[in-house]
């Protein structure tokens, strides 16, 4: 893994926007004074007339996005996950999702890997908030390749989409000819029947590392990449529930309300199976280098390995 | 159209407000009655709209940011021919077209879903911005409550519209001086409203919101104002036209019972009779 090229998905987002801008005339990008950090600045430089900085006013930005979308624009509205999904939650619900408007909430700096800024900026609750709103699609890409594909898929999807990108540079794991992004479809990255790791975002790369290490010890773990948290791919989850001993979910999010809860719901309702959830254990983060925080909060291949061994019996 | 003709339509709009909230057994008649004259003038004179083509791309837009006054908007839209007047009697009923607050997805003529205060103005700003980006000449209007402007988002939107010189945006404040818990001064005063919008970079026009002469002049002035958005601060009477509802805070969110309904309709019929005579 260490040899893999690393790119932050926020960078992928900015690059994908710029690419979309070439052909998509109706694309408008909004930001709330964070263009340098969210990387919408890449789009801004290429298409200054279709970039609007709304200032530090996320709630108003979401409303403006709704108004623009009502006239036929496809809008990407960006801020940090904390402010896009958190502060502007109700604007996203009432002004965008209720009227089912074509707005993409592109949130960067999701999760604890925000690092040094600390708990106030580490949003581990955005999946929970966004997936509870009707009409909303929730995407959480795992790397550069997938992030770019997710941006295009979001543009092509008619209706609101929440996209979560990260601040931290993460390994490029999907750079192969067979890679195919289909909204709502999980991707099996490793086969195995001893257990399944259902991962999203930067935890997919950790899951692969864990699976490779476990394989050396004779434990064959399936790895499923869930880039679409909602609507979730029930088929791939139920297949894993039937064919493997238990499921382990791995996400850079509170264990409450995110992927772990969604996977638990699917298997509980259809094929009761043990689900072990790896994520932030219902607590706030703190300042520190991202890589260290991920280890401290249990968001690592090592912790996944430990949990798999603990539960495999 | 003459002022008398506007007044006749406005009286009919008010009857629709009473009729719909009576049948809904809930709703917000007070603020709906205070803004009925403004909405009448907007839809019957000012705005470029086509009831046969409600989604017409080049239409003027209207956002009822004080979404709870939907009964007034619905009544105007019905009279204008966007949907049958009979729908007013189904307001707030299960599976009815007319939701408690404006629903752009289903109701012909509604340009934005609103109801959560402070949000509609931002959407209106987005529509005005879109016209600027696309070089279109439609205008966007939004109506806010004087209590609603206590919401911080209103001022985020105001700051943005002045910054972007949205002279194709005209907002109105229905200044009936009453909110749910009392007068503005008793609750958390938004006064001085004119000074605030002026400080936020708006061209501000203060009018009597029940005078069609003043309403007409204000919209003319707004249309000829360049380089900045306009705010029309309309002094109004909550419950206007129904004697027992006028200036009564308690009629913010309560429906008339049978007896009150009959009295209210009698009040409005007398106004109509006087106008038509």
Q: What is the pLDDT of residues A11-29, one digit of tens each?
A: 999 999 999 999 999 999 9
Chain B residues in contact with chain A using a Cβ-Cβ cutoff of 8 Å: 57, 61, 63, 103-105, 111-113, 115-116, 118-131, 133-134, 152-153, 156-157, 159-160, 163-164
Q: Sign (positive/negative) of CA torsion A41, A43, A45, A50?
A: negative
**Which residues on chain B are in Cβ contact (under 8 Å) with A100?**
105
DSSP 3-state assignment of A305?
Answer: helix
- How far is C-alpha B60 from the chain's CA centre? 15
Domains A6-171 and A187-312 share a fold: yes
Alpha-carbon distance B28 to B75, whole Å? 13
Scan for tokens 């008793």, then name that residue: B186
Q: Classify A187-312 by CATH class.
A: alpha beta
**Which residues on chain B are in Cβ contact (under 8 Å) with A94?**
113, 115-116, 119
Alpha-carbon distance A186 to B112, whole Å? 35
CB contact under 8 A, A67 and B124: yes
* Phi, then psi, of B71 in degrees rounded to 5: -55, -35
- The pLDDT score that the predictor gives to residue B277 is 87
**For residue B204, what are the CA distances in angstroms to A2, B170, B197, B233?**
62, 10, 7, 7
- The pLDDT score that the predictor gives to residue A313 is 78
- Give the domain ranges of chain A: 6-171, 187-312
Question: What is the CATH number for B148?
Answer: 3.40.50.970
Scan for tokens 């008339």, then name that residue: B256
CB contact under 8 A, B103 and A100: no
Identified catalytic residue from A11, A41, A58, A251: A58
* Phi, then psi, of A273 in degrees rounded to 5: -145, 150
- The pLDDT score that the predictor gives to residue B235 is 98
In DSSP terms, which residues pair with A254 in a beta bridge?
A280
- The pLDDT score that the predictor gives to residue A67 is 98
For the entire predicted model, the pTM comes to 0.97
Domain A6-171 sits in CATH at 3.40.50.970
Alpha-carbon distance B86 to A223, whole Å? 58
Tens-place pLDDT, residues A115-174: 999 999 999 999 999 999 999 999 999 999 999 999 999 999 999 999 999 999 999 999
- The pLDDT score that the predictor gives to residue A188 is 98
CA angle A150/A154/A156 to nearest 5° reads: 120
Whether chain B has a CB inside 8 Å of the CB on A60: the answer is: yes
CA nearest B3: which of B37, B50, B51? Answer: B37
Whether chain B has a CB inside 8 Å of the CB on A65: the answer is: yes
Whether chain B has a CB inside 8 Å of the CB on A49: the answer is: yes
DSSP 3-state assignment of B268?
Answer: helix
Tell me which residue in A54, A57, A71 faces B130 most closely, judged by beta carbons.
A71
Alpha-carbon distance A32 to A24, whole Å? 22
**Quick one: closest CA in A to B60, which residue?**
A71
Smallest Cα distance from B75 to chain A, Å? 21
- The pLDDT score that the predictor gives to residue B192 is 98
Q: Which residues of chain A, if any, have pLDDT below 70?
A: 1-2
Catalytic residue at A90?
Answer: no
Contact B166, B229 (CB under 8 A): yes
Q: What is the mean pLDDT of chain A?
A: 97
DSSP 3-state assignment of A205?
Answer: helix
- The pLDDT score that the predictor gives to residue B139 is 98
> What's the half-sphere exposure (Cβ side, CA atoms, 13 Å) at B92?
18
- The pLDDT score that the predictor gives to residue B30 is 97
> Helices H, strands E: what count in chain A?
13, 14
- Which tokens go with A222? 């399936």
Tell me which residue in A67, A98, A100 faces B130 most closely, judged by beta carbons.
A67
CB contact under 8 A, B133 and A49: yes
**For residue B191, what are the CA distances in angstroms to B157, B182, B218?**
18, 14, 21
Q: Which residues of chain B, if any, have pLDDT below 50?
A: none
Tell me which residue in A55, A60, A100 faces B122 most closely, judged by beta carbons.
A60
Tell me which residue in B105, B116, B121 faces A94 most closely, judged by beta carbons.
B116
**Which residues on chain A are in Cβ contact (under 8 Å) with B153?**
57, 59-60, 63, 91
DSSP 3-state assignment of A74?
Answer: strand
Q: Could you report the predicted ipTM of this complex, rounded to two decimals?
A: 0.96
Domain residues for B24? 3-276
CB contact under 8 A, A67 and B157: no
Contact A94, B116 (CB under 8 A): yes
Report how many domains make up chain B.
Answer: 1
């Amino acid at each position: 893994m260490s040899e893999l090229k690393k790119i932050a998905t926020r960078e992928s987002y900015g690059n994908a926007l710029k690419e979309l801008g070439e052909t998509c005339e109706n694309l408008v990008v909004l930001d709330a004074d964070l263009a340098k950090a969210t990387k919408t600045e890449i789009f801004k430089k290429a298409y200054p007339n279709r970039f609007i900085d709304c200032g530090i006013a996320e709630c108003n930005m979401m409303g403006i996005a709704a108004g623009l979308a009502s006239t036929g624009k496809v809008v990407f509205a960006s801020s940090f996950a904390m402010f896009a999904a958190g502060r502007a939650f109700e604007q996203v619900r009432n002004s965008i999702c209720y009227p089912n408007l074509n707005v993409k909430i592109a949130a960067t700096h999701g999760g604890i890997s925000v690092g040094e800024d600390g708990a106030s900026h580490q949003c581990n609750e955005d999946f929970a908030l966004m997936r509870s709103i009707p009409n909303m699609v929730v995407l959480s890409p795992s790397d550069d390749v997938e992030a770019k594909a997710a941006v295009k898929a979001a543009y092509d999807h008619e209706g609101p989409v929440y996209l979560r990108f990260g601040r931290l540079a993460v390994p490029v794991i999907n750079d192969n000819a067979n890679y195919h992004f289909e909204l709502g479809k999980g991707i099996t990255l490793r086969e195995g029947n001893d257990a399944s790791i259902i991962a999203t975002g930067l935890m997919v790369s950790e899951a692969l590392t864990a699976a490779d290490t476990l394989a050396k010890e004779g434990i064959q773990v399936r790895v499923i990449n869930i880039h679409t948290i909602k609507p979730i791919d029930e088929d791939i989850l139920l297949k894993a529930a039937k064919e493997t001993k238990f499921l382990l979910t791995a996400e850079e999010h509170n264990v409450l309300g995110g992927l772990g809860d969604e996977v638990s719901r699917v298997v509980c309702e259809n094929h009761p199976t043990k689900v072990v959830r790896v994520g932030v254990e219902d607590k706030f983060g703190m300042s520190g280098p991202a890589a260290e925080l991920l280890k401290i909060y249990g968001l690592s291949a090592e912790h996944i390995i430990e949990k798999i061994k603990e539960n495999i019996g | 159209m003459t002022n008398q003709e506007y007044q006749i339509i406005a009286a009919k709009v008010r009857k629709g407000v009473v009729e719909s909230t009576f049948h809904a057994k809930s709703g917000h008649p007070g603020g709906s009655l205070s803004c009925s004259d403004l909405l009448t003038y907007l839809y019957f004179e000012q705005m470029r709209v086509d009831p046969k083509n409600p989604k017409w791309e080049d239409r003027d837009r209207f956002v009822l940011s004080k979404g709870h006054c939907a009964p007034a908007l619905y009544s105007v839209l019905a009279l204008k021919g966007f949907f049958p007047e009979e729908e007013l009697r189904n307001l707030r009923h299960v599976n009815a077209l007319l939701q408690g607050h404006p629903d752009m997805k289903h109701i012909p003529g509604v340009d934005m879903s609103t109801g959560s205060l402070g949000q509609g103005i931002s959407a209106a700003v987005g529509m005005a911005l879109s016209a600027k980006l696309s070089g279109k000449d439609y205008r966007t209007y939004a109506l806010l409550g004087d209590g609603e402007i206590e919401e911080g988002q209103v001022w985020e939107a105001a700051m943005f519209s002045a910054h972007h010189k949205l002279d194709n945006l005209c907002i109105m404040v229905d200044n009936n001086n009453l909110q749910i818990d009392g007068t503005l001064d008793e609750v958390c005063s938004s006064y001085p409203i004119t000074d605030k919008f002026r400080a936020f970079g708006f061209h501000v026009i203060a009018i009597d919101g029940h005078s069609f002469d003043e309403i007409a002049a204000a919209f003319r002035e707004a249309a000829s104002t360049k380089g900045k958005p306009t705010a029309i601060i309309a002094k109004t009477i909550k419950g206007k036209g129904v004697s027992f509802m006028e200036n009564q805070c308690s009629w913010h969110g309560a429906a008339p019972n049978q007896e009150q309904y009959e009295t209210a309709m009698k009040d409005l019929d007398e106004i109509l009779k006087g106008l038509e005579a």
